[in-house]
Chains A and B, each alone.
Chain A
Amino acid sequence: MNSEYVAERIEAMNPVTSTSPHKVEQAWAAFSATQFAPGRSASARRITLLGRQWSRLGLASTLALTASFAGIGIAAAAELLSPAPVTNLAVAHCYTLDQIGSNGTDVAEAGTPGSVAQVNNALGTCQMLWRDGFLAAGAPRAIHVTGPITVHSVPSLVVCTMTNGTAGVFPGDDTTCRTLGLHDALLSSSSK
């Protein structure tokens, strides 16, 4: 036996089969959906640019909806749709369903209380918990992860202001807060 023969045998043992031609397309679609989801970036942008709260999408949809409600109560519609400040910055809640109830987990992470960072961190912290597998769709509480952390897909998340003034981070899109009867989260620039 010599090295060339051994090398040849190693190559003959190569365990890989060919990849299906559609696999790349599917994989790219899945990757784009998790990394570049429009709802996700829009909600992130809304939170990031708190000084300029309205994203284009938010502004357009708000104007359209406000107009449709004009005849039956502009004031009520505006009140319902306008972003509201997060007043309780000590704690936030990461939900695992787009429902208010006992799902998900509280977070009280870094960020000076009363700062924009606290709400930004609520979104970031919840994203991290999803990514690291501590949260999954419908989980009633944070999942106890044993062993090393692996990367999981993160759904599109949106931050709403809860009725008690805390930030609630829900899986969903620009319509989720409204659907739940909540305001989109707004932190006034004066509290930065």
Chain B
Amino acid sequence: MKANSSRTKEAAKRQSFEAFFRVNYNRLEQYVGRRVSRAQVDDVVAATFVVAWRKFDLVEQASLPWLFRIASFEVKSSYRTTRRYGYALSSEVLEGMANTVDEIFDTEPLRHAMAELSDVDQEILRLVHWDELTRSEIAEVLELAVSAVNMRYHRAIARLEQRLIPTTTPHKENTDE
């Protein structure tokens, strides 16, 4: 009787996890793809789902931000494996960025300015502009208050802007002469 009940519970958990897996797979793959090299994406995604499965019945409501939070640890672990510490963008990820160079703005300085930001600043910019999470979802991923997320975001973008000023006005020196 007890065994039957346990089996039913396990089957329900699997069914529920399968739905969660299917709904969130693409978003997770994209999240991971923005942070590790292409060769590592599948491994990191798989590792994230393995951990998510283990913890699935421990959370009240499994959500995308919850999954991203697990993935963030797997991404860090992947960086350690490849001896790249922190969240600094790997050169391979930088290379993978869409290179939409236009006449007004070369993406190269932006890429490098972003890579020079602190881990926290980079991550918050990625979560806002690449992963397109809401501020409350980001708060869940980073385990911060929404107000703290807003503050950190504005500081991060201001710092990025600051870093870009010298590189985007290369002709100023000439005009001074």
Interface residues of A (CB under 8 A from B): 1-3, 6-7, 9-17, 19, 23-24, 27-28, 30-31, 34-36, 147-151, 153
In the complex, what distance in Å separates the CA atom of A1 from the CA atom of B45?
Answer: 37
In the complex, what distance in Å separates the CA atom of A75 from the CA atom of B111?
Answer: 75
The 7 A-B pairs at the shortest CB distance, nearest first, are namely A151-B47, A148-B80, A15-B96, A15-B97, A10-B129, A13-B97, A16-B30
In the complex, what distance in Å separates the CA atom of A24 from the CA atom of B128?
Answer: 25
In the complex, what distance in Å separates the CA atom of A148 from the CA atom of B44?
Answer: 14
Smallest beta-carbon distance A79→chain B, Å = 29
Q: Which residue of B lies closest to A31 (CB)?
A: B49
Number of interface residues of B (CB under 8 A): 46
In the complex, what distance in Å separates the CA atom of A6 from the CA atom of B161?
Answer: 7
Chain B at the A interface: SS class: helix
Are A27 and B114 interface neighbours, CB within 8 A? no
Are A6 and B14 interface neighbours, CB within 8 A? no
- A34 cross-chain contacts in B, Cβ below 8 A: 50
Contact partner of B110 among A6, A28, A36, CB < 8 A?
Answer: A6
Given contacts A30-B46, A150-B43, A150-B47, contact A14 B25 (CB under 8 A): no
Given contacts A10-B114, A147-B81, contact A24 B26 (CB under 8 A): yes
Are B50 and A151 interface neighbours, CB within 8 A? yes
Are B168 and A1 interface neighbours, CB within 8 A? yes
Given contacts A10-B114, A31-B49, A150-B43, contact A15 B98 (CB under 8 A): yes
In the complex, what distance in Å separates the CA atom of A7 from the CA atom of B78?
Answer: 28
Smallest beta-carbon distance B30→chain A, Å = 5
18 A-B pairs besides A13-B98, A27-B45, A31-B46 with CB distance below 8 A are A1-B164, A2-B161, A6-B160, A9-B110, A10-B129, A13-B97, A13-B100, A14-B97, A15-B97, A15-B130, A16-B130, A28-B18, A28-B21, A35-B50, A148-B80, A148-B81, A150-B43, A150-B81
Are A36 and B78 interface neighbours, CB within 8 A? no
Does B58 touch A at the CB level, under 8 Å? Answer: no
Are B34 and A16 interface neighbours, CB within 8 A? yes
Does B140 touch A at the CB level, under 8 Å? Answer: no
- B51 cross-chain contacts in A, Cβ below 8 A: 151
In the complex, what distance in Å separates the CA atom of A147 from the CA atom of B46?
Answer: 20
Please, what's the 1-or-0 string for B138-175, where 1 marks a CB less than 8 Å from any CB in chain A? 00000000000000001001101100110010000000
Enumerate 12 A-B pairs (CB-CB under 8 Å) in ascending A order: A3-B154, A3-B157, A6-B157, A14-B98, A15-B93, A16-B34, A27-B25, A28-B18, A31-B50, A36-B14, A147-B80, A147-B83
